[in-house]
């Protein structure tokens, strides 16, 4: 399947064209406006964005390095499909790294930061009621990003950001599974309660279990899509 990108404001006056193209295409990938398996044509993107093919190619190469697109020689560039094996590998890493992030971050969580985390948690409620899972994922991601950011480990932060981008290719539709978004919110609450108690062991284990539950939900959804 080929996709023609909606014509946004032209970018030929931007200082960093490849970065601008990268951000536009990446956002459409993560919001699934560009569905997995969609073919991306450099010439179409260049024409629609008003740039040469060079910044488009640079943007696509960066997206490939992040696992968001797949370049198949002689066939073209496609939005990456996420497989059950991808999910297993991503969440093995995510569970371990996020558990470590919790260990590093908890001593740095001031009362104000805990209040900020609680506020973000509460902001997840409205999107669930409206069935706006794209917004829910954005708020949910902000919740996890705050935890990881306070680890103060820059390499861990970059790794987690890359893993989050890859898994978002499969997360959006998976939240349509009845009850999963609400259950995810309940799991956040137990993590916050453990943090408020200052119990690092419990907080880490609850966060790891939350990651395992998220993985299981995506795997169930992928099976449902295949009619298994």
The segment(s) of the chain belonging to CATH 1.10.10.10 are 17-79
pLDDT at residue 227 in the model:
67
What pTM did the predictor assign?
0.80
pLDDT confidence tier of residue 3, bands split at 50, 70 and 90: very low
What residues pair up with 76 in beta bridges, in sequence order?
Answer: 72
Q: In this structure, which topology does domain 17-79 adopt according to CATH?
A: Arc Repressor Mutant, subunit A (1.10.10)
The segment(s) of the chain belonging to CATH 1.20.120.530 are 84-225
How far apart are alpha carbons 206 and 79 in whole angstroms?
33
Architecture of domain 84-225: Up-down Bundle (1.20)
pLDDT digits (tens, 9 = 90+) for 62-87: 999 988 999 999 899 999 888 899 99
Helices (H) and strands (E) in the chain, counts: 10, 3
pLDDT at residue 203 in the model:
96
């Amino acid at each position: 399947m080929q996709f023609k990108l909606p014509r946004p404001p032209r970018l030929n006056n931007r200082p960093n064209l490849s970065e601008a193209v990268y951000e536009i295409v990446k956002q459409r990938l993560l919001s699934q406006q560009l569905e997995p398996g969609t073919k991306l044509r450099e010439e179409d993107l260049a024409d629609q964005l008003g740039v040469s093919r060079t910044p488009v190619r640079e943007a696509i190469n960066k997206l490939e390095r992040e696992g968001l697109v797949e370049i198949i020689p002689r066939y073209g560039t496609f939005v990456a499909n996420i497989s059950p094996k991808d999910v297993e590998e991503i969440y093995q890493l995510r569970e371990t790294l996020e558990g470590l992030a919790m260990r590093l971050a908890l001593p740095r969580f001031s009362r104000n930061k805990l209040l900020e985390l609680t506020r973000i948690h509460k902001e997840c409620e409205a999107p669930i009621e409206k069935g706006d899972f794209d917004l829910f994922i954005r708020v949910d991601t902000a919740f996890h990003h705050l935890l990881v950011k306070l680890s103060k480990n820059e390499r861990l932060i970059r790794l987690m950001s890359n893993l989050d981008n890859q898994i978002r290719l499969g997360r959006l539709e998976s939240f349509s599974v009845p009850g999963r978004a609400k259950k995810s919110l309940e799991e956040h609450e137990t993590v916050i309660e453990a943090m408020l108690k200052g119990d690092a062991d419990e907080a880490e284990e609850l966060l790891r279990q939350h990651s395992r539950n998220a993985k299981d939900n995506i795997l169930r959804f992928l099976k449902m899509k295949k009619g298994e």
